[in-house]
A and B are shown apart, each in its own frame.
Chain A
Amino acid sequence: MQVFLAQLINGLSLGSIYVLLVTGFNLLLLVAMIIHFSYPQVVVFSMYIAWVVLRYTGNSIPLAVLASVGSSILINLASAPIFQKIMKNREEVDINSTMVVSLGIGMIITDVLSHGFNNGLPIAFPQEVVGEAALFRVGLISLQYGQVASLAVGALAVSGVFLLLYKTRSGRAFRAIAEDPSGARLVGIPLLSTGLQSYALSGLLGGLIAVLLALMLGYASPGLGEQVAHKVLAVSIIAGLGNLPGGLVVGLALGILEALVQGYISGSWSNGIAFVVLLLVVLIRPRGLFGIKL
């Protein structure tokens, strides 16, 4: 029972990070109308930037957070003209070609991380930043600093995004574009600037996720982005592309599933088993459990 509870806590904190990632991914999908497959790679890149800043500023956490968020927003905004040009070339919304471009961007980011940082070796975040001791421990059950932070920030950030979407003027514009881009344009919603806002917002989320991942895992590697990217796309598909509440449920479920598998089965199989479950659901329900919202 203790193992189960401990893994449940692990799973919830990991799941909250998946939820944040899927929310950022879906925002871009709904408003900017792109499948930004390499969004998690942008997040991992921001983790590396935070690591560099920590190294050169004597572990200044505020500067690292700022650098992480800043770099994530910057990369997202810098990629916006590329995606816009692709969509203009095709003279229609073509999410498939944006996915290919995003895969290309992902290739570049992963290889830059493999060659440009720490000789391609995984990076480790300083113990004094990640937090060595558990905040709370009873038997096998423990609460780490990173877990609490990811749960709290995850809940706050997702609530913030939902509040923004459903209670603000910008949110209404986001939802209008997601529902009907031509109709939104007709009623005077600027598609380009609203789209750019979604890039910036998902960039902001990406920077936060990078910090949380650093706290949770304590390390990063060039291949981490690819692996997370595949899970995020799988979660989005299982939830139903663009389905924000669905992403919340499936993201948390994946986190818990992974943690439980890690708790009861050999670690080397855990990722494989998670992918088998994802694969089975995708094969049985190729259009998702909760319906596509595009």
Chain B
Amino acid sequence: MPLLLYYFLSITAINILMSWALYLPYRVAHLHFLTVANMAISGYLSGWLVQSLRLPFGVALLAGFAAGTLVGYAVSLFIGEAPTFTVVIVGFTFIYISRTVIENTPAVGGTLGMFGLPLVWSTPEGHRWTILIILGVMLLLIGFLIHRFEHSRLGRAASAVFVDKDLATSFGVDIKKLGMLLQTFASAVAGGCGVLYGFIYRSFHLDFFTFHLVGLFMTIIFVGGYATMWGTVVAAPVLYGLSLLLPPAVASWRIVIYGAILVGVLVLKPEGFITRRLAVNVERLLSSKRKS
């Protein structure tokens, strides 16, 4: 498999998964940037487990999921029903704190980072296919779970919370538990993504987990459409592909381009390109075709 295609597919998959990890808590109006800190924490933890303790990749991946879940759950106990801006600042402070801790921890390479992570398969080609298969399975599984969530009572409760918290509470929705559930699930996904993100490049560096990543995921969600899970599926490959197709001189300005697209879309198409109405219409069309 050509290297460029491998990177395109794997990074697009990570971008979709991470954007879903932001999308889910945003269903209850939480911009949960803690997920980016979770990526870094789980990623570095798995790198350390594999390099220093010589544990197999599978165990490290599971540890990454577990660490993400644990951090996400612990934090959600405090901010499960906090206002959006509080959730935002908790995420940002966590990114700073995790970066400071990693920078000052020689066991995970400090400012230099971790390099030369082992292959997860015996050959480089096998390594790439393994990563892609894991990402593919994660996409299908997590996509299925989110789809089921959207069509469940919980999904409708989340929509009610997004529109009017007080009204949702009066209908008996437990806002805190719902917020905690979504934040914890998002953190678990982010933990797994962090591990895979590092193993795609076979290295970890603090530059992987910057605020640019937050900007990218946010652009994917709001440009694709924050009201449905399909928006990110469409926007992630387009936006990442765009940066690969542009000439290098222009591509280096990709963050400016993403920022401009984000602001432009919010002004001109506030719900993004894939709106809830559009997604519902497409689903109806598909189900009527299946019946006929």
Contacts and interface: CB of A to CB of B under 8 A. Distances in A.
B92 A104 contact: no
A293 to B, nearest CB: 14
A35 B86 CA distance: 12
Contact of B78 (A107, A110, A286): A286
Interface in B219-239: 219, 222
The main secondary structure of chain B at its interface with chain A is helix
A87 B247 CA distance: 36
B250 to A, nearest CB: 11
A238 B82 CA distance: 13
A173 to B, nearest CB: 25
Contact of A226 (B86, B101, B211): B211
Interface residues of A, number: 43
A249 to B, nearest CB: 18
Given A104-B263, A105-B263, A230-B93, A111 B86 contact: no
A86 B90 contact: no
A233 B215 contact: no
A59 B218 CA distance: 40
Interface in A72-123: 82, 85-86, 89-90, 95-97, 99-101, 103-108, 110-112, 115
A275 B93 contact: yes
Given A111-B259, A269-B100, A89 B270 contact: yes
Contacts of B94: 279
Interface residues of B, number: 42
Contacts of B215: 103-104, 107
18 contacts: A35-B85, A86-B270, A96-B29, A97-B266, A97-B270, A108-B255, A226-B211, A233-B92, A234-B93, A268-B100, A272-B100, A275-B96, A278-B93, A283-B78, A283-B79, A283-B90, A286-B79, A287-B83
Interface of A: 35, 37, 82, 85-86, 89-90, 95-97, 99-101, 103-108, 110-112, 115, 226-227, 230, 233-234, 237, 241, 268-269, 271-272, 275-276, 278-279, 282-284, 286-287
Interface of B: 29, 31, 75, 78-79, 82-86, 88-90, 92-94, 96-97, 99-101, 103-104, 211-212, 214-215, 218-219, 222, 252-253, 255-256, 258-260, 262-263, 266-267, 270
